[in-house]
Amino acid sequence: MKKVLAAIAAGVMLGVGAASLAKLPPAPPKSDAEKKAEADKAATSKAKEEADLAKAQDRAVANYKKSHAAMGKK
């Protein structure tokens, strides 16, 4: 029984070793349309992140002003 388990373990180790050395083929080059779509998507996400940041900053400023007004500070 131990010999069978040792043989199975050795086979698994060889398979893992062979798989780790395997190389994937290179990705096909992107067409101009794909590049443009990717650039548009990146620009859109960047604009959304900037808008979200601006809203968060506005909320932080409003909270700061509200809390300082409540404490009687200017």
User: Positive or negative, the Cα torsion across 60, 64, 65, 66?
Assistant: positive
Residues with Cβ within 8 Å of 74's Cβ and at least 6 positions away in sequence, in order, are 68
Residue that wins the pLDDT comparison between 5 and 37:
37
pLDDT in tens, 7-22: 898 888 888 887 778 7
Take residue 70 and report the two structure tokens written for it: 């409540």
The pLDDT assigned to 1 comes to 87
C-alpha to C-alpha distance for 7 and 9, rounded to whole angstroms: 5
pLDDT attached to residue 24: 82
- The predicted pLDDT at position 55 comes to 98
pLDDT digits (tens, 9 = 90+) for 28-53: 999 999 999 999 999 999 999 999 99
